[in-house]
Structure formats: structure tokens, C-alpha cells
């Protein structure tokens, strides 16, 4: 897998971007697990969907503001111009939105009731007892993470790193960052399931972003669908790997 852009972009602050990217992710997680509860909002997507959505919108805004010059140069690193066909991009966005609404409005309400073999259902992780409300903050969190991954991929590409190295770095960092879920009380096996899954997705994302037309859209779909599948499994199976 050769690098699609062999020349180093010396005008892009590679080290600074990587440091800021890591700070954004770690600070957002620490604020979610500690600052929000201190303000009276528990770290639970089902109980505080609006508050947590606003919280992640703040971080989406920060990522967009800081990395906007980098995002604007995305076409320099990909095979195709970004959103080269607005009609197809609009159709994809509409289909994604419609599919999410159908899932939230028709699938989730008809799922089996949640169970938690470990004890009181009130103590279960929010994804186990996910309601339709869960997917509002989760969707915005996914957008935040996708923006950080995009910034990471473009920064490494600007540094002249070959695609294989970009894939390995993104995979490792995406997996490691999900270990922070342990701070929220997620059972260890559950943390490992999410971290291993994130490692796999982290390897696929750079290839989608750099080598596939509308790859970022596919990356978002893949990311969102993972949580939809986990919710489905949690309602129909004895929570393998989550308890």
C-alpha cells in the first residue's frame, strides 16, 4: 500500500496537530466521565441525551475550528475531489439519515426488554438499555471521533507517511483511546470488545478516507452501524463480552 501523496507538506504542523488531536480526545473523555457528573449530569446517554449532545457538539465545534485548514486540503491527499458530485453526496446523506430514523423509530421499540445478569438493570451500561434517545448523543460523539480520525489521517499523510503506516497508527490509537471506557465503569470484557473492534475499524478508516470515493460517509455508516448491532445483540443474546 503506497502513499497516495509522496511529497511531505512542510507547511502543515504535524507534531502540533497530533498533540492537539490527542488532547481533544482525552480531555473530552475526562470531561464526560468526571465534569458532567460533577455538574449533575450522569454519564448516561439515555438519561441525559440533550445535555450530552450539546457537550459533544462543543467538541465537534472545537475540532472543526482547529482542523478546518487541514480539512480544506483533504483533496490533496485523496484520490478523488472531496464531495465531487453534490447530488450523490446529498443522496448518500439522505439515505443514511432515513435509515437511522427507521432503525430508531421502528426497530428499537420492538426489541426485547433489556436484561442485566450482573445485577440491577439500573446499573447496566447505557448501551445495554439503549433507547431511541441513546442515538442522538451517540451520533454526535461518532461525528466528533470521525473528525479526529480524519485529522489524524490527513496529518500523517501530510508528513509523507506511507498508507500502511497511517493504517497501523490509526488502528493502534483508535483502539487505545477506547480503553478510556473503563473510566465510566464499563466491565473489563466490554472495554476489550470495544477496543478490539475500534482497532479493526481504525485500520479500515484510513483506507476508506484516502482510497474510496465518499469513504468518510462509509466510515460514519460503519461506525454508527456497529453500535446499532451491539444494541441488537444486547437485547437478543446474553451480552457476550459485555458483562
The pLDDT tens digits of the residues spanning 112-171 come to 776 665 555 556 678 878 888 999 999 999 999 999 999 999 999 988 899 999 999 999
Residue 183 lies in a domain: yes
Residue 167 lies in a domain: yes
Residue 13, helix vs strand vs coil? coil
Residue 184 lies in a domain: yes
Q: Extract the C-alpha cell encoding 75.
A: 483533496
Residue 229 lies in a domain: yes
| Chain center to CA of 182 | 17
Per cent of the chain over pLDDT 70 is: 86
Residue 5 lies in a domain: no
Place 240 in a pLDDT band, splitting at 50, 70 and 90: very low
Residue 7, helix vs strand vs coil? coil
pLDDT at 48 over 80: yes
Residue 9 lies in a domain: no
The predicted structure's pLDDT at residue 68: 93
Q: Extract the C-alpha cell encoding 172.
A: 493502534
Buried b (16+ CB within 10 A) or exposed e, 204-225: bbbbbbbebbbbbbbbbbebbe
Total number of domains in the chain? 1
Q: pLDDT tens across 191-238, in order?
A: 898 999 999 999 999 999 998 888 888 899 999 999 999 888 877 765
Nearest-angstrom CA–CA distance, 151 and 148: 5
Nearest-angstrom CA–CA distance, 212 and 6: 18
pTM score above 0.85: yes
| Average predicted confidence (pLDDT) for the chain | 85
Structural domain including 131 reads 14-236
C-beta of residue 155 within 8 angstroms of C-beta of residue 18: yes
Amino acid at each position: 500500500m503506497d502513499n497516495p501523496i509522496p511529497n511531505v507538506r512542510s507547511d502543515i504542523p504535524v507534531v502540533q496537530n497530533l498533540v492537539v488531536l490527542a488532547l481533544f480526545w482525552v480531555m473530552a473523555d475526562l470531561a464526560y466521565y468526571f465534569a458532567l457528573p460533577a455538574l449533575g449530569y450522569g454519564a448516561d446517554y439515555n438519561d441525559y441525551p440533550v445535555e450530552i449532545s450539546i457537550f459533544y457538539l462543543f467538541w465537534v465545534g472545537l475540532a472543526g475550528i482547529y482542523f478546518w485548514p487541514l480539512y480544506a486540503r483533504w483533496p490533496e491527499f485523496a484520490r478523488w475531489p472531496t464531495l465531487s458530485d453534490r447530488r450523490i453526496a446529498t443522496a448518500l446523506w439522505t439515505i443514511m439519515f432515513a435509515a437511522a430514523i427507521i432503525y430508531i423509530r421502528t426497530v428499537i421499540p420492538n426489541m426485547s426488554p433489556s436484561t442485566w445478569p450482573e445485577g440491577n438493570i439500573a446499573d447496566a451500561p447505557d448501551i445495554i438499555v439503549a433507547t431511541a434517545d441513546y442515538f442522538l448523543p451517540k451520533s454526535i460523539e461518532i461525528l466528533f471521533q470521525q473528525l479526529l480520525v480524519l485529522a489524524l489521517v490527513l496529518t500523517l499523510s501530510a508528513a509523507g507517511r506511507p498508507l500502511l503506516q497511517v493504517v497501523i497508527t490509526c488502528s493502534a490509537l483508535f483502539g487505545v483511546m477506547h480503553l478510556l471506557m473503563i473510566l465510566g465503569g464499563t466491565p473489563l470484557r466490554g472495554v476489550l470488545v470495544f477496543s478490539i473492534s475500534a482497532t479493526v475499524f481504525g485500520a479500515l478508516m484510513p483506507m476508506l478516507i484516502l482510497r474510496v470515493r465518499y469513504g468518510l460517509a462509509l466510515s460514519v455508516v460503519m461506525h454508527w452501524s456497529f453500535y446499532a448491532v451491539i444494541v441488537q445483540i444486547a437485547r437478543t443474546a446474553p451480552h457476550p463480552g459485555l458483562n
